[in-house]
Amino acid sequence: MGIFDKFADLLEQTKTLSSFGQSPAGLKFEKILSPTEAMLNGKRTILLGTNNYLGMTFDEESVQCAIEALKSEGTGTTGSRVANGSYNGHKALEEDIADFYGMHTAILFSTGYQANLGAISALAGRGDYLLIDADSHASIYDACRLSDAQVIPFRHNDADNLNRKLKRLENEPGSKLIIIESIYSMLGDMVPLQDFVDVKNKHDNTYLLIDEAHSLGVLGDKGRGLCEHVGVEDDIDFITGTFSKSIGTVGGFLVSNHKEMDIVRLASRPYMFTASPPPSVVASARQTLSTVAAATDKRKQLWENATQLYTGLKNAGYELGPTISPIVAIRLQDPEKAIALWNGLLEAGIYTNLALPPATPFGWYLLRSSISAAHTSEQIALAVELCTKIGVELGLITLSNSKKANIELVSVKDETKPAALNGSSEKRPRAKAEPKSAALPKADGSAARA
């Protein structure tokens, strides 16, 4: 058996995806035009799947700070902080993060993935217990593999289920670390945080870590996330987060009020054995982070935009995630139609994320959008209109359950507008022919969310 033979199923799945048109993994943006538009296949395309919640990727001051750092400190650090030392910027950014959260210590990681990997695997060791939500992100599942702790999943967003599992561990001496996320990345649903805090407070030697990847900048008066929004920051032991979404760059962090936290650096392999973030990334992260607390108007716009997209798609008759949030996911049962809808939108000039099992809850096929404060109302209206039109063509929704659908495409021929706005008939998306094999994977319910 050859080393690549185990990928046969994956290869088959890729082929099936490609038989419908574009494959998500093979996409290449030819030019990024703004936080909400790019050139794709020679067409101006609206970006509706980028996690660029505050639209900061082209912020002039952040770009300028990155350029200056690049010129003065070079392109990279070429080593880890433990082996090769820290730059001023690393320390300064950690102080910024700790100040932003009003907490004692922050540790910077090279990505959000590594922040979860490094924090969780170091904090929970042999003899300890990791209690994780069943719908956790892949980085959390991978952290569990790296940790020597015993892993106990609990039902998604079910604090009672967690409570029962913790009760069974009452006489065990090891520490218990609960891991939850603020906004879950596939369906955009939020954790009932107060319930989880109450459960945590009932049990001794029990700690709570929350991943605020999708809520930093998005929730809370000062943009600190769900813990601020719910008013429970004092009850949270550890927060992890990423700079790859609202902050518009790359990098991750762990922040805590526990005074002993610094020692985690020397127990965390994903912190120790990888190169530290480059100066330009650190500089732009610092600049953007400094604007988050005051970005109230952007947050307001973001939620207005999220509401427009969610209600538009709901009124069209689609089944979505349970709540309005900047992540809006259309839930579909039929893999072929999900792929056809994703391709149809792409051909019409709208880029969304196609999420497939086992990365999705309940084996759903998801067309996931993430909204930005930088989207215009016109862009969102167009996305809703096209989702409706293509959904009707594919038989995913019917006009009778589509309350507000206006299925006439806007027919403005203007090269400066996204391809979708031009609406020429030859560009109209069509469902592709039925594939010969149903080689798409079945959900096994056990895999981590991407």
Ligand X SMILES: Cc1ncc(COP(=O)(O)O)c(C=O)c1O
Distances (CA, A) of 70 to 76, 110, 278, 290: 8, 17, 8, 19
Q: Does 343 bind ligand X (CB under 6 A)?
A: no
Q: Does 252 bind ligand X (CB under 6 A)?
A: yes
Binding piece for ligand X, criterion CB under 6 A, among 40-48, 105-113, 168-176, 393-401: 105-113
For ligand X, the closer CB: 137 or 389: 137
Q: Does 135 bind ligand X (CB under 6 A)?
A: no
- Which of 157, 185, 256, 287: binder of ligand X (CB under 6 A)? 185
For ligand X, the closer CB: 108 or 264: 108
Q: Does 284 bind ligand X (CB under 6 A)?
A: no
C-alpha dihedral, 130 to 134 to 140 to 146, nearest 10°: 50
* Contact call for residues 209 and 131 (beta carbons, < 8 A): no
With vertex at residue 26, the alpha carbon angle to CA 422 and CA 3, rounded to the nearest 5 degrees, is 165
Binding piece for ligand X, criterion CB under 6 A, among 167-175, 211-219, 327-335, 358-366: 211-219
Residue of 286, 210, 243 lying closest to 110 (CA atoms): 243
**Min dist. Cβ of residue 317 to ligand X (A):** 28
Q: How far, in Å, CA of 249 to CA of 283, rounded?
A: 10
Distances (CA, A) of 307 to 184, 296, 347, 384, 420: 17, 17, 25, 12, 22
31 beta partners: 39
**Min dist. Cβ of residue 110 to ligand X (A):** 9
Residue nearest to ligand X (CB): 112
* Contact mark string toward ligand X, 227..246, x via CB under 6 A: ---------------x-x--
Q: Does 113 bind ligand X (CB under 6 A)?
A: yes
**Min dist. Cβ of residue 248 to ligand X (A):** 11
For ligand X, the closer CB: 185 or 287: 185
For ligand X, the closer CB: 277 or 423: 277
**Min dist. Cβ of residue 438 to ligand X (A):** 28
Per-residue DSSP letters for 363-405? Answer: G-EEEEEE--TT--HHHHHHHHHHHHHHHHHTTSS-GGG-SS-
Q: Does 213 bind ligand X (CB under 6 A)?
A: yes
- Which of 94, 128, 135, 181: binder of ligand X (CB under 6 A)? 181
Residue of 131, 113, 110, 244 lying closest to 180 (CA atoms): 131
Residue type, position 89, single letter: G
Q: Does 157 bind ligand X (CB under 6 A)?
A: no
Q: How far, in Å, CA of 364 to CA of 372, rounded?
A: 24
Per-residue DSSP letters for 10-69? Answer: HHHHHHHHHHTS--GGG--EEEEEETTEEEETTEEEEE-BS--TT--TT-HHHHHHHHHH
- Which of 50, 57, 62, 116: binder of ligand X (CB under 6 A)? 116
For ligand X, the closer CB: 188 or 349: 188
Considering CB under 6 A, how many residues would be counted as binding ligand X?
A: 14
For ligand X, the closer CB: 211 or 233: 211
For ligand X, the closer CB: 370 or 379: 370
**Min dist. Cβ of residue 225 to ligand X (A):** 12
Q: Does 108 bind ligand X (CB under 6 A)?
A: no
Residue 19 φ/ψ, nearest 5 degrees: -65, -15
Longest dimension (CA), the chain: 71
- Is 299 strand, coil or helix? helix
Q: How far, in Å, CA of 196 to CA of 180, rounded?
A: 9
Q: Does 112 bind ligand X (CB under 6 A)?
A: yes
Q: Which residue has the tokens 């609406």?
A: 423
- Which of 135, 142, 211, 233: binder of ligand X (CB under 6 A)? 211
Q: Does 187 bind ligand X (CB under 6 A)?
A: no
Q: Does 217 bind ligand X (CB under 6 A)?
A: no
Give residues in contact with ligand X (CB under 6 A): 111-113, 116, 137, 139, 181, 185, 211, 213-214, 242, 244, 252
